[in-house]
């Protein structure tokens, strides 16, 4: 079973990439080590938010197939690696999935093959980690095979920008590798942007998310002192955003989540510390600020209840929206988890509602979604809007709540508490 490309890793990055490639006429095989994922895809089932089962069905009709058989790699002229790169306990990137995938590719490597790494990692990974493994069998990058890095830019839930119309940065280990990878992506992506090399492409992805990380930390810190000074930060941001140049609006919240912003900047910080011996202070301070927001929200909740002559201990607190981003089911690194932990540790009776989550897996055990949202809101001592899903009529919910804490700045009533 041959294909134009084998995409390794059928998750939030690999599956949308496979969809777009298949949609543009490429023959695509999705390789994954999880048999249940492969079986589900071949049966037309989707396991990520951005693709419905109808999307998977159309992919299958276009010739897409998923497989756990690594021999499919040997038949493809191009292989793209889209596997997770989480943080290890010491803050270093965990490249276990990358090295495992590359070793599998190396066993099936043949002359003329293009290998592209899309998994976010620290600068130098493509040249220093991936290249030696691929060359162990005697084939040389740049002459026998091509190797490049192209950072994924998947934004789950974004209905405006997807794989095809988001510019694709591509950096090869050699100029010839860049040309080969560029030509490959141009077959199904509108705009491909060649980088000087793989290190520049790797660092570009880290800069993108570090920029967001730092600016979110800025407004999160401003939220604290603006509250103390009696200043409406949400109005401040709206006012600043009227300037047609020199300002981009960022908004505070209960913390940051997802697979990029809480994780990726640490790769850059780790590289600077381990290779150069000094800290990347902006990133480390931003991490400190953003990671402290769930505790800050919990303290604000305690203060709000105190204003109502209630203690947090024993109070019923309902959390609305526990995913890391609105209108998706993805819970990776969601700040709702540490927020719930703080509230429970301080004695609150925590319940939750989320239209996309039926069972919420917390460190202390699973929590089931409240069966009746209206009843739960009316019965809670405090309702906290953690994620503003479109399914919520927030103004109506705030109106029916005894006390409502809006961490997303979307309510207009003077009776609600805002971050």
Q: Which residue has the tokens 């490049």?
A: 148
Q: Where are the beta strands (DSSP E) in 40-173?
A: 65-67, 78-81, 114-117, 146-149, 168-172
Task: Retrieve residue 344's tokens.
Answer: 């429970």
User: Is residue 260 annotated as a catalytic residue, yes or no?
Assistant: yes
82, 177, 226, 260: the catalytic one is: 260
Cβ count within 10 A of residue 144: 16
Bridge-partner residues for 418, per DSSP? 406
168 close to 201: Cβ distance less than 8 angstroms: no
Contacts of 43 (CB under 8 A, 6+ apart): none
Check: CB of residue 100 under 8 Å from CB of residue 61.
no
Strand pairing class (65-67; 78-81)? unpaired
Q: What is the DSSP string of 292-311?
A: THHHHHHHHHHHHHHHTT--
DSSP code string of 227-268: HHHT--HHHHHHHHTTSSSS-------S---SSSTTTHHHHH
Q: Where are the alpha helices (DSSP H) in 91-197?
A: 96-107, 125, 131-135, 175-185
Distance in angstroms (rounded) separating the CA atoms of residues 23 and 398: 44
- In the beta sheet, which residues pair with residue 367? 360
Long-range contacts for 161-168 (Cβ within 8 Å, ≥24 apart)? 162/16, 162/20, 162/50, 163/16, 163/17, 163/19, 163/20, 163/188, 163/189, 164/20, 164/23, 164/24, 164/188, 164/189, 164/190, 165/190, 165/191, 167/191, 167/192, 167/193, 168/192, 168/193
HSE on the CB side for 344, CA within 13 Å? 15
Q: How far apart are CA 228 and CA 103, in angstroms?
A: 55
Looking at the annotation, which residues are catalytic?
260
């Amino acid at each position: 079973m041959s294909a134009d490309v084998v995409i390794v890793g059928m998750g939030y990055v690999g599956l949308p990439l496979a969809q777009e490639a298949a949609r543009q006429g490429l023959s695509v095989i999705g390789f994954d080590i999880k048999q249940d994922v492969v079986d589900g895809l071949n049966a037309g089932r989707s396991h990520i938010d951005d693709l419905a089962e109808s999307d998977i069905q159309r992919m299958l009709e276009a010739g897409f197939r998923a497989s756990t058989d690594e021999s499919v790699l040997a038949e493809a002229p191009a292989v793209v690696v889209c596997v997770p790169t989480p943080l290890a306990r010491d803050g270093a990137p965990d490249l276990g999935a990358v090295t495992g995938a590359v070793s599998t590719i190396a066993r099936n490597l043949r002359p003329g093959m293009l290998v592209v790494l899309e998994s976010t990692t620290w600068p130098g990974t493509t040249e220093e980690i991936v290249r030696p493994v691929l060359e162990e069998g005697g084939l040389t990058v740049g002459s026998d095979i091509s190797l490049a890095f192209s950072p994924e830019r998947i934004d789950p839930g974004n209905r405006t920008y997807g794989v095809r119309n988001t510019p694709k940065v591509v950096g090869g280990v050699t100029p010839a590798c860049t040309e080969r990878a560029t030509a490959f992506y141009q077959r199904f992506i509108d705009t491909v942007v060649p980088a000087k090399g793989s290190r520049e492409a790797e660092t570009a992805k880290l800069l993108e998310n570090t920029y967001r990380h730092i600016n979110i930390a800025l407004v999160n810190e401003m939220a604290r002192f603006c509250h103390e000074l009696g200043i409406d930060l949400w109005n401040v941001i709206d006012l600043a955003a009227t300037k047609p140049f020199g300002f981009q609006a960022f908004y505070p919240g209960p913390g940051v989540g997802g697979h990029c912003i809480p994780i990726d900047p640490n790769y850059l910080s780790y590289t600077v510390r381990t290779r150069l011996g000094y800290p990347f202070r902006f990133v480390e301070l931003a991490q400190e600020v953003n990671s402290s927001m769930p505790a800050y929200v919990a303290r604000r909740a305690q203060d709000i209840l105190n204003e109502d002559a209630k203690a947090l201990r024993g109070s019923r607190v309902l959390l609305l929206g526990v995913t890391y981003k609105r209108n998706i089911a993805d819970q990776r690194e969601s700040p709702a988890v540490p927020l719930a932990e703080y509230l429970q540790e301080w004695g609150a009776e925590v319940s939750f509602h989320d239209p996309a989550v039926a069972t919420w897996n917390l460190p202390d055990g699973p929590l089931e979604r409240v069966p009746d949202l209206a009843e739960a809101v009316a019965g809670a001592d405090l309702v906290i809007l953690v994620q503003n899903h479109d399914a919520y009529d927030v103004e109506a919910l705030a109106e029916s709540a005894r006390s409502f804490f809006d961490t997303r700045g979307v309510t207009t009533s003077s009776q609600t508490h805002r971050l």
